[in-house]
Amino acid sequence: MRPRAEASIAVVILIGAAVVAALLGRSSGEPTEVDRRPSTFLAGPDGSRGLLEALQRMGLAVRRFRQRSIGLDSLPLSPGEPELLVILDPTAPLSPSDRSVVLRFALRADLLLAGPSAEPLMRCFGYRVDRRFAEPVPVVRPGTSPRPDDPAIRHVLVRTFEQRSVDSTRVSDWGPFGCDVPEVQEERRLLVTPGGEAGAVEVRVSGGVRRVFLIGDVDLIRNRALRQTTAGPFVLSLIADGYNRVLFEEYHHFFGASGSLAGAALEWSRRSPWGWLAWQLAAVGMVGLLFSAVRFGPARAGITRTRRSPLEHVRALAVALSAARGHDEAIGAMVRGLRRRLLGPGMPVRSEWKVWLEGLPSQALSPQAREALDTLRTLTRSGQPASSVRRAANAVEDLWQELRPPPSH
């Protein structure tokens, strides 16, 4: 099979594999790419980038905090300027050391905690998150009438009435974590369900903490809710009226500063059907490369080709002319070639080649060269047989060996 045909077959197989992989990726009927992280880096319906951009348009200083939580201890804060740390339903659980750092930072700034994954920190302020509803239920501000565009939640906040909160859910990994619940000086419900349960709470506690906002369901802060419901004005009113700088914790959403473009591309390829398609194409290409690299049977020895000598070329020419019955012309061509080589390039030729051949001196030649000259003179006569061409070629070579000029240094 020709290489071009093999390449065409390989291209057809590769295209077929790509089409099959694309069809398999679409067979489930689900969205092609879903990222549920409530991160300010995500502009999709489930991200929270809309909140960050809205705060920036309102003139607030906004920063994404992408370091480990221990970096909060060395974070400089402007005296007299209120600041807010926002932790939105961390994708990775907060370790006991992370919680301790956040609680120390809360002595210098306010907190906004949202989502079930932030419950270990909420318990340190006397609340826990409880999933109460299979279907979302609307929430409104206390004392207001329901509206069609009110946001809906599944999780509510429940008061624990604990004096000390102990978390031992991952005791084998981190050990138990405990924190003392400070005394609540003021509590205000910000959102409530039709049944009177709290969806969002503002807590003022003693011990240096100014304010802590607790939101049970992080869906209130996702881009979809901020754009389509009254959750947008509600969340902006909590932040924009009382703070000069807002920090969004992004490290526990896997957007740490140590990440790389290669790591992000690899993570995307694991989540997206298009990434799986690229991996499948790469696998097909590698298999094709392996199969094309297999050698069946022993290696063949290389064919050694030696360069032909000038005499072999002359003899080959003589045989060709002999087959065409151009004996006399072949002998004349060989004699003319001998004269041209002896006289050198560019030298004028004043006589006919037969006259030149007859005029060659034979006294200064060796016996072998004289014999070759006599043979060549005899063969230049017309009517010679076919074997005369080969004899003339040998005679021309002998004369050349005798009469050629010495090499110049």
Spatial CA neighbour of 120 closest among 94, 97, 86, 102: 94
Tokens of 251: 């490290």
Name the maximum alpha-carbon separation found in the chain. 138
Residue 32 has pLDDT above 50, yes or no: no
Query: Residue 17: what are its φ and ψ, rounded to 5°?
Result: -65, -40
Output 64 or 298, whichever has higher pLDDT: 64
Give the three-class secondary structure for 308: coil
Structure confidence at residue 16 as a pLDDT band (50, 70, 90): confident
Give the three-class secondary structure for 61: strand
Residue 360 has pLDDT above 70, yes or no: yes
Q: Report the 10 Å Cβ neighbour count for 389.
A: 26
Residue 236 has pLDDT above 70, yes or no: yes
Integer Cα distance of 296 and 286 in angstroms: 19
Q: What's the helix, strand, coil split of the chain in %, to 5? A: 45, 15, 40
Structure confidence at residue 29 as a pLDDT band (50, 70, 90): very low
Q: Are 393 and 314 in contact (CB under 8 A)?
A: yes
Q: Specify the fold of 49-257.
A: Rossmann fold (3.40.50)
Residue 14 has pLDDT above 70, yes or no: no
Per residue in 167-183, pLDDT (tens digit) is: 877 767 777 888 999 88
Structure confidence at residue 52 as a pLDDT band (50, 70, 90): very high
Helix (H) or strand (E) holding 85, with range, is strand 83-88
> Would you kindly state where each structural domain of the chain is located, as residue ranges?
49-257, 312-403
Q: What is the mean pLDDT of the chain?
A: 83
Integer Cα distance of 310 and 358 in angstroms: 25
The DSSP secondary structure of 180-199, one letter per residue, reads EPPPEEEEEEEEE-TTS-EE
Per residue in 122-166, pLDDT (tens digit) is: 999 999 999 988 899 999 999 999 999 999 999 999 999 999 998
Structure letter (DSSP) for residue 72? G
User: Of the ranges 137-141, 252-256, 281-285, 325-329, which one carries the lowest mean pLDDT score?
Assistant: 325-329
Q: Given the structure tokens 């072999």, which residue do they identify?
A: 312
pLDDT for the residue 31? 45
Per residue in 57-93, pLDDT (tens digit) is: 999 999 999 999 999 999 888 777 789 999 999 999 9
pLDDT for the residue 306? 73
Structure confidence at residue 294 as a pLDDT band (50, 70, 90): low
Per residue in 256-280, pLDDT (tens digit) is: 876 567 777 887 788 788 888 888 8
Q: Are 285 and 100 in contact (CB under 8 A)?
A: no
Output 30 or 289, whichever has higher pLDDT: 289
Integer Cα distance of 268 and 265 in angstroms: 5
Tokens of 102: 């956040």
